[in-house]
Structure 1
Amino acid sequence: MRAMGKTRRLVARGLCAAAVTAALAAPPALAAQEKRPEPGWTLTPTGTDARFRGLAAVGRDTAWVAGSGGTVLRTLDGGRHWSDVSPPAAAGLELRDIEAFDRRRAVALAIGEGEASRVFRTEDGGATWTESFRNTDARAFYDCLTFFDSRHGLAMSDPVDGRFRILSTSDGGRSWRVLPDAGMPEALPGEAGFAASGQCLVSSGAKDVWLATGGAATARVLHSGDRGLTWTPAASGIPAGDPARGVFGLAFRDRAHGIAVGGDYRADQASPDAASVTGDGGRSWQRAATPPPAYRSGVAWLPHSTRSALAVGPTGTDLTRDGGRTWRTVDTGSYDTVDCAPDGGCWASGEKGRAARLK
C-alpha cells in the first residue's frame, strides 16, 4: 500500500505518463489489497437466546457454538440453518468452550465449581454425547480447553493449591488425566483465568500452548513448549490489578507470533491498552500502539494472513492489518468470541443467540 501512495504523489507532481504507467503496473497485488472491501458480519438466525461464548469454526459452511443452558448448535450450510445438538446431560450447565475437528467430532467444556466442570464428546454430529470428564475436586474450576491435533489436548482450571491445574488427553477427549504441577509456576494472589471466549488456553503446532490470566496485580501469559508439562510466565502488558481485569483471549498464528486482548469486562469501566503482541512466542509482550477502544474478549488471525486479525467484544469488532500494533473498529455488534477456519471461513458468536459469518 505504501507503493500505491507513492504513485499517487508522483501523479500529483505531474510526472510523465510513462513513469506513472510503469509505477501503476508494478504492484498489482497491492492495488488489489487497497480495493479490498472491509470485513463485516452477517448475522445468521439461531432460533435461541442462549449466550454463545464457545465457538469452533470448521469451515465456511460448518461451525459449532456452545453456550448457556447447555446449548450446542451446529450449522452445515453457512448459517442458513442451525440444528440443536445439545448434550442432554449438559442441560442447565454453562458451556464456555467447544473444539471441533470436523462436522461430526467435537469436544465441549462446561465450566463451574466442582462437578459443574465437565467435558462432553460427540462422534456423530451431536446425535449422541459422552461425558468423558467430571471434576470431583471442589477447589477446581475449569475455564478453557484446546487441542494440538485430533488426539492430543489440554484443559485448564483456576489455581488449586496455588498453581493452575492442567488436564491432558491423548485419545481425542475420550479420557483425561491431571498433569503433575511441578513445572507450573506459582499463581499470583488473586490470579485466575477468564471463561469468556474459550480463548484463555490456546495452542499452535504440535506442542506449544499458552494460558492467559487476570485478576492479580499483573495479567500474565504462561507458555509451555511441551504440551503442558512445564510453563514460563510473562507479563502481558494488559492492565490488571482487579478481579475484572486481565487477558481474556489469545490467538497465535504460529509458535512465535501472538495477540492478547482483554481489559475490564465491566461496561462502566474503561479498558485502555486492551491488546498486546508478541513475536517471540510469548517471552515478551508489547502493548498495541493503537489498541481497541474498549474491552475485547476474543481474537483470531484471518486465514493465510501474517498481519490481519479480528478482535471482538460486547461493543464491537476491531481489525488490525499490521499484526496487532494498531486497531480500528469495523463493526459495532456485540460478540464474545471469534474463530476462523483454514478455508477462510470466519465466525463470531455472543449474547442473545448471536452467531455470524464474516462477509
Structure 2
Amino acid sequence: MLKNLCCCCLCYCLILFLPVHGQHKRTLQLLTRGPLKSIRGLCVLTDSLLWASGTGGMVGKSTNGGRQWQWMQVPGCDSCDWRAINAFNAQEAVVVNAGEPAHIFRTQDGGATWQQVYYNDTKGIFFDDMDFRTSQEGWAIGDPLQEHFMLLHTQNGGRQWDTAPLQQRPPALKGEAIFAASASNLHLLPNGDAWFITGGDTARSIRYRQGRWEASALPVTQGAPSRGAFSMAVRNPMQAIVVGGDYQADTLRQRNCLLTTNGGSTWQQPAVPPRGYRSSVAWINNNTVFATGTSGTDISTDGGRHWQPLSNEGFHVVQAAQKGKAVFLAGSNGRIAQISMP
C-alpha cells in the first residue's frame, strides 16, 4: 500500500554550529519526521536519492535530498521492523527485518509493489544486517543458530537468498551476538573479504579472508547484552573504525571507540573518544568521520583519533552518500536530519 506523504514539514535548523579548524561550520539540520516510531535502516545513494526503513513495516524514499518523502508500508508487514535496507536505484530496494519470523522483501517499481523473497519462522531467528558487494552479490547476517551466526547469500540482486551451510558459517561464542542498531556492522569488501563485529558477553572482529574465517578480540566495553561493538566504518581493507559502548549507560566514554590500520589485527583507542555510546559511524573522507548515538552526535577531523561534539541531538544511524557529499542521519520518532558539508 503506497502512501504519498510529503514530509517537508519543518526544516528546523538549529542544532549546533561547530567550527572546524576555525574555518568552516557544519550544521545539523532536522529535515522531517516520518510516520513511524524508529528508523534504523538508511541507504544514501546520491546527494538527492536516499531510502530509509524502520518500524511498522514502513519504507521511505526521497529523490530531492530529503526535502520530500514518499512513505509506503510493505503489505502484510505492519509489525515488521526493517532494520536494514539496500537500494540500487530509485526503483529497486531490498529490506530485511529483525526478529522472528524473518522476512526479506524486494521492490523493483519504486515501492509500488513488494515481493517476498525470503521467509524463515525458525525459533530464535534474528537478522541484524545486510550488505551488497555489487548490484548482484549480497549477504545477510543474523544472530547465532546452532552456535553459528546465521548467514544468507544472494547472487542475483536479492531476488533469491540461500542459507550458507553450517560448516561455512562463522562459529559464535557463548553470549555473543550482533547488534541490529544501524545496519552498519557487516561490510563486504571489494577484494572479496567480508568483515563484521559483535558484542554481548564477548566482542570480536570476525573476518572472512581467503576462504576462511578469522576472529580477534575487540577491546571495547562488553560482558552484558547491552554492551559491545555496534557499528563499523571501513575506509579500505586495512583501515576501519568501530564504535559502541553500553546503550543502557549511553554517556559513558570508556572503551566506546576503536581504530585499526592493519585490517583488524590490532586495535587502538582514540586519544579523545566520542561522548558516550554510539550506534553508528561513517567516514566522509580521509580525515572526517561522524558518529551518532542516543546521547549525541560527534565529529572527528583526524581520522577518529580526536572527537568533539557536533550536537546533543542523537540518532540511530549516520550515512554519507555513495556518490556525492551529502550526510544524513535518522533515528527515533521518524527523525531524519542532514549535516551540511563545506
Same fold by TM (over 0.5)?
A: yes
Deviations 1:293-349 (A, max 9, x none): 1000001100xx212110011111111122112211111112000111121121110
Note closer, same or farther for the CA distance 1:223–1:345 as it changes in structure 2 (3 Å cut). Answer: same
Aligned to 1:350: 331
Aligned pairs (5 A) from 1:192-231: 192-216=177-201, 218-225=202-209, 230-231=212-213
Stretches of structure 1 that go unaligned for 5 or more consecutive residues are 1-32
Note closer, same or farther for the CA distance 1:75–1:181 as it changes in structure 2 (3 Å cut). Answer: same
Q: 3-state SS of the aligned residue for 1:66?
A: strand
Distance 2:148 2:311 in 1: 38
Alpha-carbon distance, 1:47 to partner: 4.0
Q: Which one of 123, 129, 150 corresponds to residue 165 of structure 1?
A: 150
Distance 2:320 2:131 in 1: 15
Aligned to 1:232: 214
- 8 Å contact 1:120–1:129 — kept in the other structure? yes
Partner amino acid for 2:85? I
Q: Which one of 305, 321, 326 corresponds to residue 325 of structure 1?
A: 305
Structure showing greater Rg: 1
Q: Which one of 237, 240, 262 corresponds to residue 258 of structure 1?
A: 240
Aligned pairs (5 A) from 1:271-290: 271-290=253-272
Aligned pairs (5 A) from 1:122-133: 122-133=107-118
- 8 Å contact 1:295–1:313 — kept in the other structure? yes
Partner amino acid for 2:329? A
Partner amino acid for 2:95? A
Partner amino acid for 2:325? G
Task: Kindly indicate whether residue 48 of structure 2 is the aligned counterpart of residue 68 of structure 1.
Answer: no
Partner amino acid for 2:239? H
Note closer, same or farther for the CA distance 1:89–1:202 as it changes in structure 2 (3 Å cut). Answer: farther
Q: Which one of 96, 101, 114 corresponds to residue 83 of structure 2?
A: 96
Partner amino acid for 1:187? A
Q: 3-state SS of the aligned residue for 2:26?
A: coil
Root-mean-square deviation over aligned CA pairs: 1.7
Distance 1:203 1:43 in 2: 31
Aligned to 1:306: 286
Partner amino acid for 2:76? A
- 8 Å contact 2:36–2:58 — kept in the other structure? no
Q: Percent identity?
A: 36
Stretches of structure 2 that go unaligned for 5 or more consecutive residues are 1-19
Aligned to 1:11: none
Partner amino acid for 1:317? T
Partner amino acid for 2:303? G
Q: 3-state SS of the aligned residue for 2:212?
A: coil
Distance 1:155 1:52 in 2: 19
TM-score normalised according to structure 1 size: 0.85
* Length, aligned pairs only: 320
- 8 Å contact 2:36–2:56 — kept in the other structure? no
Partner amino acid for 1:349? A
Task: Kindly indicate whether residue 277 of structure 2 is the aligned counterpart of residue 295 of structure 1.
Answer: yes
Deviations 1:172-193 (A, max 9, x none): 0000111123244431110001
Aligned pairs (5 A) from 1:47-66: 47-66=34-53
Distance 1:112 1:290 in 2: 36
Structure in which a larger fraction of residues adopt helix: 1
